[in-house]
């Protein structure tokens, strides 16, 4: 029988003022490759961080049998998808500081990001050979001198793994590594990780999607409701069924509407013009052309999907709509019947948009409850700086109840899992529809702009179907099959055409 690597013995973990994983036990043995599966908020990340030595165990104990006296922080590499967002935001802040200092041509490169991480744990004498090894393993040779701010989501996922592997850890824990990746990016990363697992490096993959399990996976652990609900080898089909059922039930997939519902005519706002009208739009940054003579119109009552691989320009299109891309004023773009920059302020535009994006949650840095985050949607503010009246509070509670997340309302926003935070931001976006939802004749005419993480996609059809406000919806994601459920018109970012 293979030797144990890690034994989790009746542990309880403290996460701020919450106690999780009460009395959980689990053992990982040499030669095993584990996938941890469970719905949003189940406790997967808490368990992974506890194993990596990043969270305190207040009861029970985690025994490390094979690390030769190394601490878990030294022996175990932990890679979370949320780190991508943190790195990009930090680099943006550094760019601002460099601008004030007049150092306009300076930027952190991928090479510096990989070599500069945990330098105290890596012997400087063999740094270049280690860099060559991880760069070859993850196809990073052409990226090493590229600025971090110019790296795509798929590229950054590979960079983050390489940044940890350069110190040659004894175990690798990956927390939702495929979030935000397109189909090709997911497949490429899965193949690279499979090669690592086959080489003998123990890997714990944390995901809420059973289809993301690596081919090298030997065992599955199910986490649900803050506890370990089951564990077995992958050749046990009943366990895989239980894993898929747990995720489907908690993430709302059991409520998935008919993939081809009858198309219903929506009452239209009084407008003879498209809601969004872009003509020959070009967006470029230096020599890089992001959009080249892009033409598109969105009519009242339509749902659109913007799809394409990472780096195709999906987010740029949404930023042109919301005004976050300043090149909107250098192009022919009309929104709600008015030219951008003429006759309407940015606030007047955003009053009619409910916006959700992958990194919006990073703006909420102060300690505030999930309910306060939802209520901030009434004022389109990042943070709540006004008192809500009784009608607004009742509306926020109604949306939380309708989305079956009322239990999260009083939990601090930064204590929620990434998937739960995104669901709260969906509720916040719905408040925009409540804030200004009628035209002069009583017709609802608000619009929703979504750039959701992949964990939110299964839940959106039900919520949008239940919402009378967001009859016009534009989504950007690389998950193409999802759009069939909403009968979206589709814009592939590399070929511009519409279809059903």
Please check the confidence at residue 354 and state whether its pLDDT lies above 70. yes
What was the pLDDT predicted at 140? Answer: 92
Please check the confidence at residue 260 and state whether its pLDDT lies above 60. no
Higher-confidence residue of 459 and 307: namely 307
What was the pLDDT predicted at 1? Answer: 64
What was the pLDDT predicted at 402? Answer: 83
What was the pLDDT predicted at 121? Answer: 52
Q: Cα(453)–Cα(457) distance, rounded to whole angstroms?
A: 7
Q: Is the dihedral of CA 44, 162, 83, 245 positive or negative?
A: negative
Please check the confidence at residue 59 and state whether its pLDDT lies above 80. yes
What was the pLDDT predicted at 44? Answer: 92
What was the pLDDT predicted at 54? Answer: 92
Grade residue 249 by pLDDT with cuts at 50, 70 and 90.
Answer: low
Q: In degrees rounded to 5, what are phi and psi of residue 373? A: -65, -45
Beta bridge partners of 205: 35, 174
Whose CA is closest to 47, among 35, 65, 29? Answer: 35
Higher-confidence residue of 18 and 169: namely 169
Q: In degrees rounded to 5, what are phi and psi of residue 280? A: 50, 50
Q: Where are the domains of the chain?
A: 4-255, 276-492
Whose CA is closest to 34, among 165, 242, 193? Answer: 193
CATH topology of domain 276-492: Rossmann fold (3.40.50)
What was the pLDDT predicted at 101? Answer: 82
The 10s digit of each residue's pLDDT in 181-195 is 777 888 889 999 999
- What's the mean pLDDT when you consider all of the chain? 77
Q: Cα(136)–Cα(489) distance, rounded to whole angstroms?
A: 40
Decide: 219 and 34 in contact? Cβ < 8 Å. Answer: yes
Q: Cα(27)–Cα(63) distance, rounded to whole angstroms?
A: 9
The 10s digit of each residue's pLDDT in 430-446 is 766 544 333 333 333 34
Decide: 320 and 341 in contact? Cβ < 8 Å. Answer: no
Beta bridge partners of 490: 305
| Secondary structure E strands in 94-155 | none
Tell me which CATH homologous superfamily contains domain 4-255. P-loop containing nucleotide triphosphate hydrolases (3.40.50.300)
Average pLDDT (321-338) is 85
Decide: 379 and 371 in contact? Cβ < 8 Å. Answer: no
Average pLDDT (364-375) is 86
* Number of C-beta neighbours around residue 161 at 10 A: 23
What was the pLDDT predicted at 120? Answer: 52
Please check the confidence at residue 408 and state whether its pLDDT lies above 80. yes
Q: In degrees rounded to 5, what are phi and psi of residue 65? A: -95, -20
Higher-confidence residue of 146 and 455: namely 146
What was the pLDDT predicted at 84? Answer: 81
The 10s digit of each residue's pLDDT in 123-145 is 557 788 888 999 999 989 988 98
Give the CA dihedral 51, 54, 56, 60, nearest 10 degrees: 10
The 10s digit of each residue's pLDDT in 3-16 is 899 999 999 998 77
pTM greater than 0.85: no
**C-alpha distances in Å from residue 83, one per residue of 32, 58, 199, 252, 316:** 26, 26, 26, 27, 22
Decide: 319 and 283 in contact? Cβ < 8 Å. Answer: no
Average pLDDT (345-357) is 72
What was the pLDDT predicted at 500? Answer: 28
What was the pLDDT predicted at 498? Answer: 32
Higher-confidence residue of 61 and 235: namely 61
Higher-confidence residue of 391 and 264: namely 391
What was the pLDDT predicted at 68? Answer: 86
Grade residue 209 by pLDDT with cuts at 50, 70 and 90.
Answer: confident
Which secondary-structure segment (H or E) carries 187?
A: helix 183-198
What was the pLDDT predicted at 309? Answer: 74
The DSSP-derived string for 291-316 is EEEEEEEE-TT-EEEEE-STTSSHHH
Please check the confidence at residue 284 and state whether its pLDDT lies above 90. no
H helical segments located in 28-125: 44-51, 72-75, 82-101, 110-116
Radius of gyration of the chain (CA): 24
The 10s digit of each residue's pLDDT in 374-389 is 998 888 788 888 899 9
Decide: 333 and 339 in contact? Cβ < 8 Å. Answer: yes
Please check the confidence at residue 211 and state whether its pLDDT lies above 70. yes
Higher-confidence residue of 100 and 281: namely 281
Grade residue 148 by pLDDT with cuts at 50, 70 and 90.
Answer: confident
Grade residue 250 by pLDDT with cuts at 50, 70 and 90.
Answer: low
**Token pair listed for 349:** 């535009």
**C-alpha distances in Å from residue 33, one per residue of 123, 230, 381, 391:** 28, 16, 44, 52
% residues pLDDT > 70 (the chain): 74
Average pLDDT (233-250) is 61
Higher-confidence residue of 488 and 39: namely 39
What was the pLDDT predicted at 25? Answer: 94
């Amino acid at each position: 029988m293979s030797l144990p690597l890690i034994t989790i013995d009746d542990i309880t973990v403290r996460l701020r003022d919450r106690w999780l994983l009460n009395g959980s036990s689990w053992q990982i043995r040499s030669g095993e490759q584990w996938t941890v599966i469970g719905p949003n908020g189940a406790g997967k990340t808490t368990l992974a961080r506890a194993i990596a030595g990043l969270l305190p165990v207040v009861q029970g104990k985690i025994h490390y049998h094979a690390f030769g006296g190394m601490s878990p922080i030294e022996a175990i590499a932990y890679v979370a998808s949320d780190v991508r967002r943190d790195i990009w935001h930090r680099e943006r802040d550094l760019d601002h500081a460099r601008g004030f200092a007049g150092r306009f041509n300076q930027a952190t490169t991928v090479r510096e990001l990989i070599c500069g991480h945990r330098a105290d744990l890596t012997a400087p004498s063999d740094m270049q050979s280690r860099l060559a090894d991880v760069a070859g393993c993850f196809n990073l040779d052409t990226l090493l001198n590229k600025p971090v701010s110019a790296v795509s989501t798929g590229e950054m996922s590979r960079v983050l793994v390489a940044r940890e592997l350069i110190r040659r850890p004894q175990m690798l824990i990956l927390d939702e590594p495929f979030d935000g990746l397109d189909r090709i990016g997911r497949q490429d990363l899965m193949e690279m990780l499979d090669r690592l697992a086959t080489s003998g490096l123990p890997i714990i993959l944390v995901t809420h999607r059973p289809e993301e399990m690596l081919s090298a996976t030997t065992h599955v652990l199910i986490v649900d409701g803050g506890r370990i609900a089951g564990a077995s080898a992958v050749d046990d089909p009943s366990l895989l069924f239980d894993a898929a059922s747990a995720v489907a039930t908690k993430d709302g997939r059991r409520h998935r509407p008919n993939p081809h519902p009858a198309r219903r005519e929506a009452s239209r706002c009084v407008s003879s013009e498209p809601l969004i009208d872009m003509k020959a739009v070009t967006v470029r940054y230096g020599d890089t052309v992001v959009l080249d003579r892009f033409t598109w119109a969105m009519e009242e009552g339509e749902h659109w999907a913007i799809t394409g691989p990472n780096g195709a320009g999906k987010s740029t299109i949404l930023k042109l709509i919301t005004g976050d891309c300043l090149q909107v004023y250098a192009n022919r773009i009309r929104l709600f019947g008015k030219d951008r920059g003429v006759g309407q302020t940015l606030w007047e535009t955003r009053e009619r948009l409910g916006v959700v994006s992958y990194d919006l949650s990073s703006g909420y840095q102060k300690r505030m409850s999930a309910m306060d985050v939802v209520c901030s949607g009434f004022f389109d503010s990042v943070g709540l700086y006004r008192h809500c009246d009784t009608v607004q509070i009742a509306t926020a509670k109604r949306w939380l109840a309708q989305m079956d997340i009322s239990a999260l309302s009083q939990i601090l926003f930064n204590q929620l899992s990434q998937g739960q935070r995104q669901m709260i931001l969906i509720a916040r976006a719905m408040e925009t529809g409540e804030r200004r939802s009628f035209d002069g004749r009583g017709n609802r005419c608000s619009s929703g702009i979504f750039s959701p993480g992949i964990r939110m996609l299964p839940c959106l059809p039900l919520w949008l179907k239940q919402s009378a406000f967001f009859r016009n919806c534009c989504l950007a994601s690389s998950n193409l099959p999802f759009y069939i459920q909403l009968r979206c018109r589709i814009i592939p970012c590399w070929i511009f055409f519409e279809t059903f």
